[in-house]
Amino acid sequence: MDIDLLKTFIEVARTRHFGRAAENLYITQSAVSFRIRQLEQSLGVNLFLRQRNNIQLTPPGERLLPHAKLIVTGVQRAKLDVALADNMRRQLALSGTANIWDAFLQFGIAHVVSAMPGISLVAEVKNQQESTRLLLERTLDLAVLFDLPKVDELCVEPICTLDIIPLSSYADATAETFFNNQYVFVDWGTAFSLWHARNFANSAPPYFRTSTGRIALELILRCGGSAFVPRVQAQQYLDSGELFLVEGVPQTSRDIFIAFHKDNEQKDLIEKLQHQLQLLGEEVTENKGK
């Protein structure tokens, strides 16, 4: 099966638009349509329901999508592995959710890379479900997550705990006004969402939702508002007086975990990476109140 056909299928499924998929792939829209027809003919099924401004996956298309992603990822990694063989380098694939990168990994990925010379590190943003699936399929070596994957084949180890605090751009913000003045809800994982629902069930709905703390911070700094953000991520703005800790609003925390397959053949590299991430966690924990 032509890998380009699968890449095109994945992009159309992601954008739900042939024109945007063509722009992202740097080919013509007619080429995108031709590739999709080729793939459908080779499989003997329709992959998309084509309606004006409403392209949806068919049930066969839904079933093909995870397989297509796996094949494309596997081919890409195989090419890199073969290329690395000439230089006697080893590869390690790491993933983190978007909010993990914002709140934790961004603060130390450079130190991790410099501490592991001779290792080619592949670092990507992937959601919890995809990371778990790729770990089980052995196309991902290690995932950094907020929520524990409850899968017997995976080893899970804690790295550190992040304090998540209520912040506002308004110095006079109170517990009574926190949710009523442009509150931004940040998805810090399942445990946070459950905690939030228990504690603030009667609060006003957020005017904005996002999956990353970086977007929330930028929004409330530019437009004003409030949000729950890890202290380590917001400390510079607290120090500068651009943001303020809101007294009287409950605070919480999130544990960060790493997960890897029990039978991964690169356990020596995983242990080195785990050690570096634990050092980063210790640094973040020590400096969280500074």
Contact between 115 and 269 (Cβ < 8 Å): no
Average pLDDT score over residue span 146-172: 91
d(CA 246, CA 235): 14
* DSSP type of residue 24: H
pTM value is 0.68
Write out pLDDT tens, residues 21-39: 888 888 888 999 999 999 9
Residues 38-65, mean pLDDT to the nearest whole number:
89
What pLDDT digit, counting tens, does each position of 97-142 carry?
888 998 888 888 888 888 888 788 888 888 888 888 888 888 889 9
Residue 290 pLDDT:
47
Residue 248 is predicted with a pLDDT of 93
Helix-, strand-, coil-residue percentages of the chain, each rounded to 5? 50, 20, 30
Residue whose token pair is 């793939």: 39
Residue 50: in which H helix or E strand, if any?
Answer: strand 48-51
Confidence of residue 289 (pLDDT cuts 50, 70, 90): very low
User: In 27-167, which ranges are continuous DSSP H helix?
Assistant: 29-43, 59-85, 98-103, 109-114, 128-136
